[in-house]
Amino acid sequence: MKKFFGAFLAALMMITFTACGNSAAEKNSTPEAKPADKILVAYFSCTGNTKAAALEVAEILKADTFEIVPAQAYTSDDLNYHAENCRANIEQKNSAARPEIKNKIENIEQYKAIVVAFPIWWGAEPRIIDTFVESYNLDGKIIVPVCTSGGSDIQTSAANLKQLCKGANVLDGKRLGILSKDELKAWVASLKL
């Protein structure tokens, strides 16, 4: 009888320990990371042209949007490129300039692709765009540069962003604001995001 009780107790303890062990593992196990399957359109715009173009792209892609807000807003004096030493000109002349950004994207992991929209300043992306791409781990993501401008194209900016986002797949991008709605839709579809 004593022997039987001993064996019974041992079996009971084993069941209890196993059960406890399982529930602890369940509690400690991290939930599986969600696949990065969403698209974000992030834009910087001082006078509204890029914002309008970016929101059109976001609508076509049914993407989330994020406005890149400078910590220090750009005044019209800051943007007056006729004045040699206006803030925008000083920043563009200095490739190391990284104007601060006020806000941050939450859960960037959920995005597989980010459309980065900006105006062309002195032939290239504003330095705040460099701040933006350097603020996140973009490894493995598709980056689509798009711009608005008075005439300059996207090539220099796309080349700069390819240098800055080495682990990402930076596409050649597009100058927007000059395409018809149908042309824009066709171009967006061609990205196969």
Ligand X SMILES: Cc1cc2nc3c(=O)[nH]c(=O)nc-3n(C[C@H](O)[C@H](O)[C@H](O)COP(=O)(O)O)c2cc1C
**CA atoms within 13 Å, Cβ hemisphere of 32:** 3
Segment 21-27 long-range contacts (CB within 8 Å, at least 24 positions apart): none
- Among 31, 35, 151, 167, the residue binding ligand X under the rule CB under 6 A is 151
Closest CA to 107 of 165, 55, 38: 38
Does the protein bind ligand X through residue 21 (CB under 6 A)? Answer: no
Minimum distance of ligand X from residue 182's CB (angstroms): 21
Our CB check for ligand X shows the closer of 110 and 156 to be 156
3 to each of 6, 7, 13, 180, how far by Cα in Å?
5, 6, 16, 88
DSSP-derived secondary structure letter, 40: E
Using CB under 6 A as the binding rule, whether residue 31 contacts ligand X is answered as no
> Which of 115, 132, 123 lies closest to 50 in space, CA to CA?
115
Q: In this complex, which beta carbon is closest to ligand X, that of residue 19 or of residue 90? A: 90
> 38-77: which residues touch ligand X (CB under 6 A)?
45-51
Is 121 an interacting residue with respect to ligand X (CB under 6 A)? yes
Looking up tokens 């980065």 gives 116
Other Cβ atoms closer than 10 A to 14: 10
Q: Does 176 bind ligand X (CB under 6 A)?
A: no
Nearest to 121 by CA among 109, 112, 133, 130: 130
88 binds ligand X (CB under 6 A): yes
Contact flag: residue 160 with ligand X (CB under 6 A): no
Residue 85 makes contact with ligand X by CB under 6 A: no
- From 59-67, 96-104, 116-124, 155-163, span contacting ligand X (CB under 6 A): 116-124
Q: Which of 138, 117, 3 is nearest to 57 (CA)?
A: 117
Name which of 6 and 123 has its Cβ closer to ligand X: 123
Choice from 99, 119, 145, 173 touching ligand X (CB under 6 A): 119
Tell me which residues touch ligand X (CB under 6 A).
Answer: 45-51, 79, 81, 88, 119-123, 148-152
